[in-house]
């Protein structure tokens, strides 16, 4: 008998819990479905005015060093070609001296090229981070204004009807350009 009462209470608790769960489910069903959106960060970083301005800034900042490296490479090539072509006719000591000079120059060139690439990558990351920060602010503004529940920036599949990238680009592209900050000195 005690067991039957206990079993009866458990059944009542289960039915009550199910009823509460169903009531909560009905309440959720009555609310609108969650509003989802998607933004293609790749498109933002490729097509937005701030991204293009950042790329132009980087190009201007590093063009001199890039040209210097290209000039150095152009100067080293004939030296390599001369050694390769005339290795059999020049003396061993002359060949060894020229090879050492060329190796030293090439080593310096490789170091300078590596430093250049590191500097470009660091500055590119800084500029892209600024663009992403601006984009995220715009995305948040759009999400709040249009009552989105969630905005995704990465997904395996996106239905085009939830893609708000064009809205974000429109707002980003309409914003006035930020005043140019002085570029850090490069080596």
Q: Domain with 52 in it: what CATH number? A: 3.30.910.20
Q: Is residue 140 part of a domain?
A: yes
Q: Is residue 70 part of a domain?
A: yes
What is residue 40's three-state secondary structure? coil
pLDDT at 133: 97
pLDDT at 87: 78
Q: Is residue 14 part of a domain?
A: no
Number of Cβ within 10 Å of residue 41's Cβ equals 17
Q: Is residue 1 part of a domain?
A: no
Q: How many domains does the chain have?
A: 1
pLDDT at 31: 63
Q: What is the pTM of this model?
A: 0.68
Look up the domain containing 155 and give its range.
34-174
Helical pair 49-86 and 165-174, crossing angle rounded to 10 deg: 90
Q: Is residue 127 part of a domain?
A: yes
Q: Is residue 179 part of a domain?
A: no
What is residue 99's three-state secondary structure? helix
Q: Is residue 94 part of a domain?
A: yes
Q: Is residue 115 part of a domain?
A: yes
- How far apart are alpha carbons 125 and 131 in whole angstroms? 10
CB contact set of 162 (below 8 Å; sequence gap of 6+): 36, 37, 38
pLDDT at 2: 43
Q: For each successive 10 residues of the chain (187 residues), what is the average pLDDT?
A: 44 41 48 89 96 96 95 91 84 88 93 97 97 96 96 94 96 78 50
Contact 139, 165 (CB under 8 A): no
């Amino acid at each position: 008998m005690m067991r039957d009462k206990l079993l009866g209470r458990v059944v009542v608790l289960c039915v009550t819990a199910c009823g509460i769960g169903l009531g909560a489910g009905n309440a959720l069903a009555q609310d609108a479905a969650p509003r989802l959106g998607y933004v293609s960060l790749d498109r933002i970083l490729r097509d937005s005015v701030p991204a293009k301005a950042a790329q132009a800034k980087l190009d201007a900042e590093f063009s001199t060093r890039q040209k210097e490296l290209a000039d150095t490479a152009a100067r080293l090539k004939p030296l390599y070609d001369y050694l390769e072509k005339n290795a059999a006719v020049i003396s061993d000591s002359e060949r060894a001296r020229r090879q050492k000079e060329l190796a030293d120059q090439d080593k310096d060139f490789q170091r300078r090229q590596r430093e250049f690439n590191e500097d470009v990558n660091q500055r590119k990351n800084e500029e892209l981070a600024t663009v992403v920060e601006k984009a995220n602010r715009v995305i948040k503004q759009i999400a709040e204004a249009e009552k989105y529940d969630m905005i995704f920036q990465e997904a395996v599949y996106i239905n085009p009807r939830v893609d708000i990238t064009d809205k974000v680009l429109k707002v980003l592209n309409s914003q006035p350009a930020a005043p140019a900050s002085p570029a850090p000195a490069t080596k």
